[in-house]
Structure 1
Amino acid sequence: METILQALLLGIVEGLTEFLPVSSTGHLILLGDLLGFQGPPGKSFEIVIQLGAILAVCVVYWQRLWGAAAGAMTDARSRAFIRNILVGFLPAMVVGVLAYKHIRALLDSPIVVAVALVVGGVLILVLERVNKHPRFHAVEDFPTSLSLKVGIFQCLAMVPGVSRSGATIMGALLVGVDRKAAAEFSFFLAIPTMLGATVYSLYKNWADLSFDNAGLIAIGFVAAFIAALLVVRTAIGLIIRHGFAPFAWYRIAFGGVMLAVLLSR
C-alpha cells in the first residue's frame, strides 16, 4: 500500500509541476529526499509518468496541433508554428545529448535544487517587471531567431530546480513575448523536448528497464495525466489574471523552507 501511495504521489507531483515554472524535477528530488523514497525501482516509472504529462498537452491542444500538421503544406502560419517549435527544441536536443548526464551528475543534489528554486523565484519577479511592452503575441509570429533564443534558455533547465517551463517562459518574456504566448510556447515546446528526452532515456537505459511493476507504473501515468490536464486547462487563465509572481513566491517559500530543513540536518 505504501508503494502504491508513493507512485500516486509522484505521478500527481509530476503532472502538477511539469508545466508550471516551479520545476518538476526539483520537486521529485526534494520529495524523495524528504520522505526517504525515490519511487518504484528502475527507469520505467519516471519515463512513463512523463509520457502522461505530454499526453495531457496533446489532448488540450489537439485541435491546434492537428490544424498545424494538416496545414503544413499549404498555410504559412502553420509552417511557422511547426518551424518555431522545432527550432526551439534544437538547442536542448544538442546540449542534452552532449552534456545532460554530466550536468546532472555534478548538480543533482537537494541543496542545489533548493537554491535554484529560490534564485529562480527572484529572477521571475525581476523579469515580470522588465517585460512591460511585449511585441509578440502568437507562436506563429515569432521570428526564427527568437525561437532559437528561447530554446537556448530552455537548456538552463538541465540544472535541477531551474524548471524547464520556467526557463522557457522567462526567456520568452525577456525577448518580448507576452505572457499568454510565452506560456503556450512552453507547453508546445515540451512535446518534442520531453518526447525526445524520453526516447533518449529509453535508448540509454533499455537494458535496465523493467515493467514488473506495471500496476504502479499505470497508477503514476494516470495520476500524471490527470494532474497535468488540470494544470494545462487552467494555467493560461491564471497567468493572464495574476502573472507569474504567485509561482515566484511559491518557489522562494518552498525552496527556502527546504534549504532550512536540509541545512539543519
Structure 2
Amino acid sequence: MDLVLLLKAAIMGVVEGLTEFLPISSTGHLILAGSLLGFDDDKAKVFDIAIQTGAIVAVIIVYWQKIRSTLVALPTQTQAQRFALNVFIGFLPAVVLGLLLGKAIKEHLFTPGVVATTFILGGFVILWAERRQQSTVRVQDVDEMTPLDALKVGLVQCLAMVPGTSRSGATIIGGMLLGLSRRAATDFSFYLAIPTLIGAGAYSLYKERALLSAADLPLFGVGLVFSFLSAWACVRWLLRYISSHSFTPFAWYRIAFGIVVLLTSWMGWVDWHG
C-alpha cells in the first residue's frame, strides 16, 4: 500500500473526527480536504462515509456509562425504555427520507451555491438560537425529553441531507430552538448519531461494494483509527466547552467557510459537486 495514500487517509480521518460532531459540517470539510489532497474519486467518497464508524466508536466510549446502564435497565425500567424509544423515534425520519430522497439530493444539491448558502445561513441560525436560548429552555436533560421532542429533533436532522448543513448543527441547534438546553441538545445529537451514522456507513459500503477489495483494508483501517482518535478528543473537549461557552464562534466560522466555498468554486480550485 502506498505510504502517501495512507497519509492522506490519516489526514481525512482527522478531518472527519474533528468535524463530525461540531456544528460545522463534516461533509463540507471532507470535500475541501479531499480536493486539496487529490483524494476525491468514487472510492474516496465511500471512504468518507465508512470512516464515520470510527467517530461513532468514540462517542460510544465517551457515553458508555449511560449506554450500558440503559441497556441493563431496558427490560424493567420505564425511563430506560423511554430513552431508547426516543432515540429510535429520532432516528426514523432520516432513514425514511434518506432512502426516498438520498439519490436526488446527491444529484441536484451538491453545488457550490447550495453548500455556501447552507454554511452561511446555518451560521446566522446559530447566532439566532444562542440569542434566544436563555428564555426558551424547558428540557434540561435528555431523560426529560418526550417522544414528540425526539420526533421534532429527528425531523430537523433530515435538514442535514442538504450538503453544508451539518448533522450535528441541525440536531444541536434545532434541539435548542425546540426548547432543549445546550447540554441536552448536544447529548441527544450524539446519541442520535450512533444509529444514524452506522446505518449510513453500512448502507454505503453495501451499495458501493463493487468498488472495494481486500487491498483497501489498510486504507480504511488507517482512516477509521484516526477518525476515532480525533473524534474522541473532540467530543470530550466539546462537552467541557459547552458547560461555559456558547456556539457563537462556530457561527462565525461557518459564515467564513461559506465565503471560502464561494471563492474556491469561483477560482476553480475545488469541485463542490460531492
User: What TM-score results when the alignment is normalised by the length of structure 1?
Assistant: 0.94
CA shift for structure 1 position 143: 1.0
Structure 2 residue runs of 5 or longer lacking an equivalent are 269-274
Q: How does 1:24-35 map to 2 (within 5 A)?
A: 24-35=26-37
Is the counterpart of residue 251 in structure 1 residue 254 in structure 2?
Answer: yes
2-structure distance, mates of 1:228, 1:147: 24
Q: Which runs of 4+ in 1 moved over 6 A?
A: none
Q: How does 1:1-265 map to 2 (within 5 A)?
A: 1-38=3-40, 41=43, 45-133=47-135, 134-265=137-268
AA aligned to 2:165 is: V
2-structure distance, mates of 1:255, 1:43: 21
2-structure distance, mates of 1:66, 1:107: 39
CA shift for structure 1 position 111: 4.0
**Is the contact between residue 157 and residue 170 of structure 2 (CA under 8 Å) also seen in structure 1?**
yes
Size of the aligned set, in residue pairs, is 265
**Which whole-Å deviations, capped at 9, do the CAs of 1:117-172 have from their partners, x for residues lacking one?**
11111111111112223000111111111110000000000011100000001110
CA shift for structure 1 position 8: 1.1
- Cα 1:170–1:121 change in 2 (3 A) is same
**Is the contact between residue 84 and residue 140 of structure 1 (CA under 8 Å) also seen in structure 2?**
no
**Which whole-Å deviations, capped at 9, do the CAs of 1:170-225 have from their partners, x for residues lacking one?**
11011100000100000000001111112222332233332312222111111000
RMSD: 1.7
1-structure distance, mates of 2:57, 2:236: 13
1-structure distance, mates of 2:209, 2:45: 9
**Is the contact between residue 136 and residue 176 of structure 1 (CA under 8 Å) also seen in structure 2?**
yes
**Identity value in percent:** 49
1-structure distance, mates of 2:71, 2:112: 41
**Is the contact between residue 50 and residue 204 of structure 2 (CA under 8 Å) also seen in structure 1?**
no
AA aligned to 2:14 is: I
User: What TM-score results when the alignment is normalised by the length of structure 2?
Assistant: 0.91
1-structure distance, mates of 2:4, 2:255: 30
2-structure distance, mates of 1:111, 1:264: 14
**Is the contact between residue 46 and residue 204 of structure 2 (CA under 8 Å) also seen in structure 1?**
no
**Mean Cα deviation higher: 108-117 or 163-172:** 108-117
**Is the contact between residue 8 and residue 37 of structure 2 (CA under 8 Å) also seen in structure 1?**
no
**Which whole-Å deviations, capped at 9, do the CAs of 1:44-73 have from their partners, x for residues lacking one?**
523431110110001111110010011011
